[in-house]
Amino acid sequence: MTIVRTGWLAAALLTSTALLASPALAQTRAETLRHVTGAAINTLDPNIPGSTREAFGLSLLTYDRLLSFGRKQINGKWVFDLDSIRGELAESYTVSPDGLKISFNLRKDAKFHDGTPVTAEDVKWSLDREVSANVLGKGQLLTGSLTSPDQFKIIDAHTFEVTLPKPDKLALANLAVVYPVIINSKLAKSHATAEDPWALNWLKDNTAGSGAYIIESYKPGETTILRRNPDWNRGSADKPASFKRIITQTVPEAATRANLVEKGDADIVIDLQATDAADLEKKGKLKVVSTPQYNSITFVSFNNQMPPFDKIEVRRAIAAALPYDDMFKAALFGRGAPLYGASWPDGKAPTGEVFPIPQPLKTDLAEAKKQLAAAGLPDGFSTTFSFNVGQAGTAEPMAALLKESLGKVGIKVDIQKLPDAQMSTLINEKKLPFFTEGIVAWLPSMDYFYRNFYIGPIRWNYASLDDAKITEWAQAARFEADKAKYAALGKDLNTRHFELMPQIPLWQPAQDAVMASSIDGYVYQFHRQIDFRDLSRK
Amino acid sequence: MSQLSITAKRAGWRFASSLPALFGVLVFTFLLMRVLPGDPAVFFASGPTAGKEEIETIRKQMGLDKPVPEQLLRYLGDIGTGNLGRSLTTGQPVLSDLKSRLPASLELTFSALLIALVTAVPLGVAAALRQGSGIDHIVRFICALGVCVPTFVSGLLLIYVFYYLLGFAPDPTGRVDIFTSPPPLVTGFLLIDFALAGDWEGWRAAASQLVLPAFTMALFVVAPLARITRAAMLASLGSDFVRTARSLGLSRRKVIVTYALRNALLPVLTIAGIVFSTMLGANVLVEKVFSWPGVASYALDALLSSDYAPVQGFVLLMASIFVLVNLTVDVLYGIADPRVSVE
């Protein structure tokens, strides 16, 4: 009888769709890049609190910054390079020998979308806005010692100078992230009001940039269509961007995104389920660039201030009881870079220039029991393990394996699945004892990780770690100009991290970019979005 | 004329009497959203550098820094001036979001309801006429399937078969092919707007985009409609007036269509009204699966991120639509059966 039903349905659908099928519009498709994503762009100004990652990605296309990151290869995959910073609106820049003055020579041919030339005045207004207005850039630029309008000086129409209170390694890098966009100041000022001197309201729904693409239509939560800016020449070999049009469309269902790209109706997608990405890779029809996100970490974290996790032995017991390999396979199908299973023969970290590094951890239940006994909890204890619903796809299988394995050493775990907003709230209030989270650092330098994720009462210090040595070394590393001394500090930090085990770094998940085989030039970017200026069609 | 004025009076009174209910819904949703765990300010301040200051900014922006009674008063005042607040998820005013998305949901729901009625009524009638026969069982089976297969399963299945495997259907994203330029906005209903603009190519694109989601939705509601039709038809076939009509020797067709079916349609009308209102809200999964830019998926996104304003706006909208639909059904009922309006 199922046959009767499907037959009836098929007949009805067949007639209707065959009648209605519209002819393919081949010509426009060739010059257009269609990108599908699960999330939505919710503002055109990346600085508005609440901006989504999609909005960050968009701002990189519509606006220029003074500087941008170069690229490098890690294991054959192109990724952004924190150490190679090149000019975008700046033709060139020079840093004074004491590292306190950076001067920028601006491109003389750069124009905003409305045709007016980009001048040092626009740069000054835009950067003043970043450090004065209530915008996201304010907190970010602080990490590069950029805090006050007094630091920004117009020398002449095309020369601009930034002064730093201390030589800061991340000052330049901070000028290349998504926030410090250079805005057409005359246009923006004409829409500013007394209560809103920085035109935050207007720029939310309008762009005033000089970037590679111009907004053609913007429907929040649905589609954003971009048209190429023919005058833009900040790309490779001073050419405009390759695609004439870019369509970014929100498609909430992951399976549908996979279908679309496989059928060739969409050109590129980066947020598929790991299974779909693996499946499409196996079929071999599409290009799959799977890059371990070298600036991100997935953790199992504990609140180090809350018993029993305030005991090192308890944290070490859990680190010894986790089924790492099984979790990695079940959660990510092995797509990514593991941060366990290293060997440190002398118990010291092998390197100090970078963090995270693989930890010498493996599943060892006997060791876990020993540690529990040393903590005075030979029979184990009960606790809850939380994760947010948004990450259920990867966190659910992982949590189940964790529960099973910890049960073997007497730790009884209740799994708690929390809505995203509730999880953020509990983390912010430091109320979760034991949970999993992921972090991303836009500027993945060793000291940046330690300063932002292991110090102070801030929310990103998931482990609520308060260790005098880590705090001191991380702050010292920030301004350490001598490379050897920096690496030595890092080595100490990495070793101390392992000894304290404030949280357990598990892996760096892969970013799977699945695209038509004709698409070329994909680079993994710091903001984990696609920089469409990199892409072209062969 | 007096019939019309009675109907109008009745409708007006019904509408006025539903206002307290609407107000109750308004206050209840408002309080419910604030009781739910999860602080929206913290959620939205989740940027890589989000600190206390940013959380406070968002809290202020959402008006959450004030005590709850004051928030409620402000909210009611805003509603009075037609301001439903601003959504943090889309960054747009809720009113304009709902305005631009409601036609999408309505177009989908109307199409689905039409398909469902056209399918369910004949099925129900056929089942009633041959009670206990093979046809009756087949109809029962179809109804069971329709109800027990969740819409996201049937939706994904239809996409898999008709888009992925067979390639008949256009790509299941949005209301119109992304490369088709939309018609000038008149009603927001694409089929009507394309027709008004005389753009039949566009009309076909929009219609073909509508087929799969509308069928998915229709499948889900065929069951209640067919079951009610069957039951009402059985009741009416067994009633005195049908026996009388039969005994008068009227043709079988006349007996079934004019006497039995016409009377059986009253309960179907009632159920169709209820089904319509529930469909608008229950659309959420279909809208998600087909990337349909409607109000239901909008509200779900907002709910997941504790974005108060859109959820409150959505519930208010749904309550108003429910009131309107009930009103319409009442009026239609009165017209179909004059006895009802004599009160």
Same domain, A310 and A435: yes
Q: How much is the mean pLDDT over chain A?
A: 88
Q: Which residue has the higher pLDDT, B175 or A321?
A: A321
Of B114, B95, B100, B115, nearest in space to B294 by CA: B100
**Residue A416 within any structural domain of the chain:** yes
State the CATH number of the domain containing residue A534: 3.40.190.10
Give the pLDDT means over successive 10-residue stretches in chain B (343 positions): 73 82 86 78 66 75 80 85 81 87 90 91 87 86 84 87 87 81 83 87 88 90 88 87 85 83 83 83 84 86 80 88 83 72 47
pLDDT reading at A148 higher than 70: yes
Q: Cα(B228)–Cα(B226) distance, rounded to whole angstroms?
A: 5
Same domain, A82 and A156: yes
Q: Which element (helix H / strand E) includes B322?
A: helix B308-336
pLDDT reading at A4 higher than 50: no
Q: Cα(B284)–Cα(B280) distance, rounded to whole angstroms?
A: 8
Same domain, A357 and A435: yes
- For the ranges A285-294, A419-428, B28-37, B229-238, the maximum mean pLDDT occurs at A285-294
Q: Strand pairing partners for A81?
A: A70
Residue A334 C-alpha, separation from nearest chain B C-alpha, in angstroms: 26
Both tokens assigned to B109: 């729901």
Q: Cα(B126)–Cα(B140) distance, rounded to whole angstroms?
A: 11
Q: Strand pairing partners for A510?
A: A292
Same domain, A113 and A252: no
Encode pLDDT of A169-193 as tens digits: 889 999 999 999 999 999 999 999 9
CB within 8 Å: B49 and A223: no
**Residue A33 within any structural domain of the chain:** yes
Report in angstroms the alpha-carbon separations of A28 from A32, A61, A286, A332. 6, 20, 21, 37
Of A451, A443, A458, nearest in space to A490 by CA: A451
A142 chain-B contacts, CB cut-off 8 A = 49
**Residue A250 within any structural domain of the chain:** yes
Nearby residues of A113 by Cβ (< 8 Å), 6 or more positions away: A184, A207, A208, A209, A210, A211, A214, A229
Same domain, A368 and A496: yes
The 10 Å Cβ neighbour count of residue A164 is: 19
Q: Cα(A321)–Cα(B50) distance, rounded to whole angstroms?
A: 34
Q: Cα(A310)–Cα(A303) distance, rounded to whole angstroms?
A: 7
Q: Cα(A177)–Cα(A67) distance, rounded to whole angstroms?
A: 9
Q: Cα(A54)–Cα(B90) distance, rounded to whole angstroms?
A: 12
Nearby residues of B26 by Cβ (< 8 Å), 6 or more positions away: B76, B79, B312, B316, B319
B164 chain-A contacts, CB cut-off 8 A = 259, 262-263
Q: Which backbone phi and psi does A446 adopt, to 5 degrees? A: -55, -50
Q: Are A312 and A328 in contact (CB under 8 A)?
A: no
pLDDT attached to residue A207: 92
Residue B316 C-alpha, separation from nearest chain A C-alpha, in angstroms: 21
* DSSP β-ladder status, A245-250 and A32-37: parallel
Q: Cα(A411)–Cα(A396) distance, rounded to whole angstroms?
A: 18
pLDDT attached to residue A161: 94
Residue count of chain B: 343
Same domain, A259 and A170: no
Of B104, B213, B102, nearest in space to B158 by CA: B213
Please say which residue of A198, A231, A266 terminates a domain.
A198
- Which of A2, A3, A15, A17 to mutate: most B Cβ within 10 Å? A17
Of A352, A331, A294, A332, nearest in space to A498 by CA: A352
Residue A430 C-alpha, separation from nearest chain B C-alpha, in angstroms: 13
CB within 8 Å: A420 and B305: yes
Total count of domains within chain A: 3
Torsion of CA A453, A454, A459, A460, to 10 degrees: 10
Q: Which backbone phi and psi does B260 adopt, to 5 degrees? A: -75, -55
Same domain, A502 and A455: yes
- Measured between CB atoms, which of B89, B100, B288 is closest to A252? B288
Q: Are B221 and B118 in contact (CB under 8 A)?
A: no
Q: Strand pairing partners for A247?
A: A34, A225
Q: How many CB pairs under 8 A join A and B?
A: 189
**Residue A3 within any structural domain of the chain:** yes
Tell me, yes or no, if A260 comes closer than 8 A to chain B by beta carbon. yes
**Residue A301 within any structural domain of the chain:** yes
Q: Cα(B3)–Cα(B250) distance, rounded to whole angstroms?
A: 31
Q: Which element (helix H / strand E) includes B52?
A: helix B52-61
Same domain, A323 and A409: yes
DSSP of B90-158, one letter per residue? TSSBHHHHHHHHHHHHHHHHHHHHHHHHHHHHHHHHHHHHTTTSHHHHHHHHHHHHHHHS-HHHHHHHH
Residue A487's domain spans which residues?
296-510
B44 chain-A contacts, CB cut-off 8 A = 49-50
Q: Strand pairing partners for A268?
A: A35, A515
CB within 8 Å: B169 and A1: no
pLDDT reading at A27 higher than 60: no
Q: Are B55 and B271 in contact (CB under 8 A)?
A: no
Q: Is the peptide bond before A252 cis (omega within 30 degrees of 0)?
A: no
CB within 8 Å: A16 and B47: no
Both tokens assigned to A538: 């062969």
Encode pLDDT of A236-258 as tens digits: 656 788 899 999 999 988 888 99
Residue A87 C-alpha, separation from nearest chain B C-alpha, in angstroms: 24
Angle at the Cα of A467 (from A462 to A473), degrees rounded to 5?
Answer: 105
Encode pLDDT of A202-214 as tens digits: 998 899 999 999 9
Q: Cα(B288)–Cα(B159) distance, rounded to whole angstroms?
A: 13
Q: Compute CA B290 distance to the chain's CA centroid, rounded to the nearest angstrom.
A: 16
pLDDT-wise least confident of A143-157, A215-229, B7-21: B7-21
Stretch A31-45: mean pLDDT, rounded?
89
Both tokens assigned to A13: 């659908």
Please say which residue of A139, A174, A198 terminates a domain.
A198
DSSP code of residue B30: H
Q: How many Cα atoms are found within 13 Å in the side-chain-facing hemisphere of B160?
A: 8
pLDDT attached to residue A509: 92
State the CATH number of the domain containing residue A371: 3.10.105.10
Nearby residues of A152 by Cβ (< 8 Å), 6 or more positions away: A123, A124, A127, A128, A160, A161, A162
Stretch A416-423: mean pLDDT, rounded?
85
Q: Is the peptide bond before A358 cis (omega within 30 degrees of 0)?
A: no
Stretch A300-329: mean pLDDT, rounded?
92
Stretch A479-495: mean pLDDT, rounded?
91
User: Is this structure's pTM higher than 0.90?
Assistant: no
Domains parsed from chain B with CATH numbers: 98-304 (1.10.3720.10)
**Residue A205 within any structural domain of the chain:** no
Tell me, yes or no, if A370 comes closer than 8 A to chain B by beta carbon. no
pLDDT attached to residue B139: 86
Q: Which element (helix H / strand E) includes A20?
A: helix A2-20
Q: Which element (helix H / strand E) includes A136?
A: helix A136-142
Same domain, A186 and A215: no
Report in angstroms the alpha-carbon separations of A258 from A36, A216, A519, B172. 9, 26, 16, 12
CB within 8 Å: B47 and A51: yes
Q: Strand pairing partners for A503?
A: A301
Residue A50 C-alpha, separation from nearest chain B C-alpha, in angstroms: 5
Q: Are A48 and A200 in contact (CB under 8 A)?
A: yes
pLDDT reading at A1 higher than 60: no
Q: Cα(A104)–Cα(A72) distance, rounded to whole angstroms?
A: 24
- Measured between CB atoms, which of B44, B51, B173 is closest to A256? B173
State in Å, rounded, how far the first CA of chain A is from the last one.
50
Q: What is the ipTM of this complex?
A: 0.79
The 10 Å Cβ neighbour count of residue A92 is: 11
CB within 8 Å: A421 and B306: yes
Q: Cα(A361)–Cα(A188) distance, rounded to whole angstroms?
A: 54
Q: Identify the residue whose tokens are 């499907």.
A: A6
- Measured between CB atoms, which of A5, A16, A51 is closest to B145? A5
Q: Strand pairing partners for A302?
A: A434
Same domain, A112 and A98: yes
**Residue A414 within any structural domain of the chain:** yes
Both tokens assigned to B186: 């008149």
Q: Cα(A39)–Cα(A24) distance, rounded to whole angstroms?
A: 27
Encode pLDDT of A73-129 as tens digits: 988 889 999 889 999 999 999 999 998 999 999 999 899 999 999 999 999 999 999
pLDDT attached to residue A236: 64
Same domain, A98 and A5: no
Same domain, A312 and A448: yes
Both tokens assigned to A375: 């903590």
Residue A421 C-alpha, separation from nearest chain B C-alpha, in angstroms: 5
- Measured between CB atoms, which of A49, A259, A265 is closest to B57? A49
Per-residue 3-state assignment (H helix, E strand, C coil) for A223-258: EEEEEECCCCCCCHHHCCCCCCEEEEEECCCHHHHH
**Residue A291 within any structural domain of the chain:** no
CB within 8 Å: B43 and A425: yes
- Contacts with B, A 305-344, CB within 8 Å: none
Q: Cα(A476)–Cα(A447) distance, rounded to whole angstroms?
A: 9
Residue count of chain A: 538
The 10 Å Cβ neighbour count of residue A8 is: 12
Q: Are A294 and A83 in contact (CB under 8 A)?
A: no
